[in-house]
Amino acid sequence: NFNANPKNVTPFQKVKLLNKPFFRLIKDFNFYYLPSQFSFMTDMDRSYNETQLRNIQDFSSPFPTTYNKTFFWNRSYDLRYDITKSLKFNFHAENIALIDEPVMYGQKVSKDDASAYSHWKDTIWNGPSGILNGGRTTNYRHNFDLNYTVPINKIPLFNWISLNARYGGTYDWNTSPRLANAELKLGNTIKNSNTEQLSSSLNMTQLYNKIPVLSRINQKYAKAKKTKKEKEQVQYPKVGDPPKIVNFKAKTPKPISHKLKTIDVTAKLTDKNGKEIKAKTDIVNENLIILTTDSDYQEVNVLVTGQRDKQDNPFIIFLEQTARVLMMVKTVNITYSENNGTILPGYLPNTQFVGMSQDNQGIWAPGWKFISGMQDIDFGRKAAEQYGWITKDSVLNMPYQMTNSKTLNIRVTVEPVKNMRIELSANRTESSNFSEYYHYNASMSQFESSNKLYTGSFSMTYNTWNTSFKKFGDNYFSQAFEDFKNYRITIANRLAALRMENAYAGTYNYQGATDPNTGFPDGYGPTSQEVLIPAFLAAYSGKNPSSIALTAFPGIMSMSPNWSINFTGLTGIKIIKEYFQSVTIAHSYRSTYSVNSFSTNLDYNPMDGLSWVRYSLGNFIPEREINGVSISEQFSPLISVDVTMKNSILAKVEYKRSRNLSFNLANTQINEMQQRDLIIGTGYRIKDLAFNINGKPFKSDLNLRGNVSIRNDMALIRKLDQLNNNQQLNQLTSGNKTIAIEFTADYQLGPNFTASLFYKRDVRKPKISSTFETYNTNIGVSLRFTLAQ
């Protein structure tokens, strides 16, 4: 184990010419001579097991003794090297090797048999898989990470941006099992993977502060939270106004309305000769005081002076607040990551150095790129045809595989007004898997590939708010489903128009003629996958079918944000603050569109971007076969109000909605599930409730909680009645109205002993006749004892 604390080298740190902020990127250049850590660990594990089974039926015919022995040699390596302060490299490798012992001397090795012992010892030390040759590797694996903090924030113009890049790679080599038939060569298995990630954080406040006037506004309102407001002196009457002359009667209160909007006031009374008169001052509110004198006075001059928080010009305040609204975007976080992997079975070369070995041509197999996790779609073909690294044995039946997934996440924090926080988020994920088989054709003396297959899945945030609140008509009629039915012809005509513009349209004599039976253009019938999915998305998102993307995999620009809103500013209102300790209003919306799975169509043959192959029913086949798509939408909650009153009463009202749409393309059927939840909860804590049980006093808080929830849910199947002019055919398959009432009371009888009284009542009323109503009631007392250490 080697640990070091190498000195950081900064060659330009003392160059005065680079002191200006513009040259910080050059001035801060640094590096380390040595890694900070290198470690190596090794262990050997030899086991021997001998089993003798007894033949209890015939002692004269003993069973042969069986032996099981292993001699493993494990080695691991770790390297940590901070190349610079912002560029860091970590590497870890593991090697599992097996030291093969001679089979003929497998029973027992004894020094009494000098010849056998010498042979065993020589094999263990000097054999092909002996200790001096490192053993026979059965598994090698390494992984590494390279993290780079891009110094873009050292450039003054971009100091509001932070950018991080990461590359991680893995490589595995696994030996093939040893077979009794040594002529069979299954080959080893190698695989690699990589992770590429780029993340950026934008501090928008720092960007705004580059504009002086915006910087002053931000500083002003930031200081307002930490420092006291500046005071200003005020008086009544104002300077230059006529004096306030009042007559006083002894012991008779005299109200003075000064309208100074402050309670920090003093009153000075003087007679007509300028002599000060003593008076009692009672402050009623920020605009009114009451003065009382001990004697009668005539023509008394009253002067009220005070101080109050300095008020800005209302027009200036309006402009500042407008600027703050325009600066409501506070942070933006963007993360893009890509994961890739390759698995190659039937690999013949062994391992010598970091999982590689030299082949007959002097090439290090499988190559630096592969062990670094890099991907090459043609790697399998090259390994088989060009380098001869793949076994030619026909017993190999494992496919060459590649995986890929891409994820984009965007998160934005918005604060439009004080105490209101909005989180916007959008994401898009696409995963794909590729596999094919390589077999050696002995008659042709070449490798051939077969059964190429692409599969995958897809999901992205997708806004369907426009149709969320549309009510059902008679027989559960849905306007969105009706729009889906009608939008198909628009989508089909658009697809046909694009195909007619294709260069091969004339070759195939394609004119987009209308089918007299369906009314749809040739090749894009009412059940075509390419027609159904865009029509489904347009109908349930409320978008225009004439402009929606004609694909089941919308691009990045089609992502829509989800959001959550939290507002705690109501306690800033005086009358609410008087009774409530906190009031929180929340709202959240999430909607996701997903392609559950897809696979490539083996008959698809693109020519100039399109395939002209058709199904037996006449529709053009799509590039990817999709079984179904879905939309999942949740208002969780649609609205929630959570309050805590100053008298310890807690209350919460929450309303949630959800909708799940699953579209089965095989039968043009949509399964729709909807759920509505209303939850009303309250709680109260009676502090320090005391009573006696058999003369023993108890004193603790009594916590009371109650909830009432009402849930309505239903599941529908929607499809088109082909025999009745494609009218909606809607069937309710399940549904319930569930009412739950719950009450609990907890009282702590000791440090680890709690007694509870509970009551719960559930009533479920089904919406279909095949099920029946159910009523469940639970009531009782529970005693909970906690064993504390």
List all residues 6 or more positions away from 578 whose beta carbon is below 8 Å from its beta carbon.
none
Q: Which residue has the tokens 């002996």?
A: 130
List all residues 6 or more positions away from 345 whose beta carbon is below 8 Å from its beta carbon.
186, 187, 189, 396, 398, 399, 400
Q: Contact at 8 Å (CB) between 150 and 165? A: yes
Q: How confident is the model at residue 228 (pLDDT cuts 50, 70, 90)?
A: low
CA-to-CA distance for 631 and 590, rounded, in angstroms?
10
User: Is 740 a member of any domain?
Assistant: yes
Give the closest residue to 672 by CA, choosing from 684, 680, 664: 664
Q: Decide if pLDDT at 106 tops 60.
A: no
How many Cα neighbours within 13 Å face the side chain of 637?
A: 17
Whole-number pLDDT of residue 725: 65
Please give the average per-residue pLDDT across 153-177, as a whole number: 94
Q: Decide if pLDDT at 107 tops 60.
A: no
Q: How confident is the model at residue 428 (pLDDT cuts 50, 70, 90)?
A: very high
3-class DSSP assignment, residue 728:
strand
* Same-domain pairing of 143 and 269: no
Q: How many structural domains comprise the chain?
A: 3
Percent of the chain with pLDDT over 70: 97
Is it true that the peptide bond before 151 is cis, omega within 30 degrees of 0?
Answer: no
9-41 tens-digit pLDDT: 999 998 888 888 888 889 999 999 999 999 999
Q: Which residues lie across from 577 on neighbouring strands?
A: none
8-state DSSP, 328: -
Please give the average per-residue pLDDT across 201-228, as a whole number: 85
- At residue 261's C-alpha, the angle toward residues 257 and 263, to 5°, is 85
Q: Decide if pLDDT at 105 tops 60.
A: no
Average pLDDT, the chain: 91
Q: How many CB atoms lie within 10 A of CB 326?
A: 11
Whole-number pLDDT of residue 690: 85
Please give the average per-residue pLDDT across 432-447, as a whole number: 91
User: Is 318 a member of any domain?
Assistant: no
CA-to-CA distance for 361 and 172, rounded, in angstroms?
23
* Same-domain pairing of 544 and 634: yes
* Same-domain pairing of 632 and 771: yes
CA-to-CA distance for 322 and 236, rounded, in angstroms?
34
Q: What are 426's two structure tokens?
A: 């959008």
Q: What are 241's two structure tokens?
A: 């106004």
* Same-domain pairing of 658 and 547: yes
The residue range of the domain holding 30 is 1-99+134-159
Whole-number pLDDT of residue 751: 81
Q: How confident is the model at residue 724 (pLDDT cuts 50, 70, 90)?
A: low
CA-to-CA distance for 467 and 469, rounded, in angstroms?
6
* Same-domain pairing of 696 and 597: yes
Percent of the chain with pLDDT over 90: 65
User: Is 34 a member of any domain?
Assistant: yes
Whole-number pLDDT of residue 86: 95
CA-to-CA distance for 783 and 747, rounded, in angstroms?
10
* Same-domain pairing of 277 and 142: no
Q: Decide if pLDDT at 737 tops 90.
A: yes
- Our CA dihedral for 201, 204, 209, 215, rounded to 10 degrees, sits at -140
**Among the three residues 289, 309, 329, which one is the final residue of a domain in this structure?**
309
**Which residue would you say has higher pLDDT here, 762 or 179?**
762
* Same-domain pairing of 235 and 155: no
User: Is 725 a member of any domain?
Assistant: yes
Q: How confident is the model at residue 505 (pLDDT cuts 50, 70, 90)?
A: confident
CA-to-CA distance for 55 and 96, rounded, in angstroms?
39
Q: Decide if pLDDT at 383 tops 80.
A: yes
Q: Which residues lie across from 457 on neighbouring strands?
A: 431
Q: How confident is the model at residue 51 (pLDDT cuts 50, 70, 90)?
A: confident
CA-to-CA distance for 451 and 428, rounded, in angstroms?
29
User: Is 333 a member of any domain?
Assistant: no
Whole-number pLDDT of residue 49: 84
* Same-domain pairing of 142 and 254: no
**Which residue would you say has higher pLDDT here, 317 or 214?**
214
Q: Which residue has the tokens 């808080």?
A: 701
Whole-number pLDDT of residue 35: 94
CA-to-CA distance for 195 and 165, rounded, in angstroms?
11
Q: How confident is the model at residue 131 (pLDDT cuts 50, 70, 90)?
A: very high
* Same-domain pairing of 148 and 251: no
229-267 tens-digit pLDDT: 678 889 999 988 999 999 999 999 999 999 888 898 999
Q: Decide if pLDDT at 659 tops 80.
A: yes
Q: Decide if pLDDT at 723 tops 80.
A: no
Among the residue ranges 48-62, 388-402, 447-461, 520-534, the one predicted with the least confidence is: 48-62
3-class DSSP assignment, residue 16:
helix
Q: Which helix (H) or strand (E) holds 49?
A: strand 37-51
* Same-domain pairing of 604 and 700: yes
Whole-number pLDDT of residue 347: 95
**Among the three residues 262, 284, 309, which one is the final residue of a domain in this structure?**
309
540-578 tens-digit pLDDT: 999 999 999 999 999 999 999 999 999 999 998 989 999
Q: In the chain, what is the greatest distance between 2 CA atoms, to the nearest angstrom? A: 143
**Among the three residues 274, 294, 309, which one is the final residue of a domain in this structure?**
309
User: Is 341 a member of any domain?
Assistant: no
Q: Decide if pLDDT at 775 tops 90.
A: yes
* Same-domain pairing of 769 and 683: yes
pTM: 0.84
* Same-domain pairing of 256 and 153: no
How many Cα neighbours within 13 Å face the side chain of 215?
A: 6
User: Is 487 a member of any domain?
Assistant: yes
392-424 tens-digit pLDDT: 988 888 999 999 999 999 999 999 998 999 999
User: Is 107 a member of any domain?
Assistant: no
291-308 tens-digit pLDDT: 999 898 898 999 999 988
Q: Which helix (H) or strand (E) holds 686?
A: strand 669-693
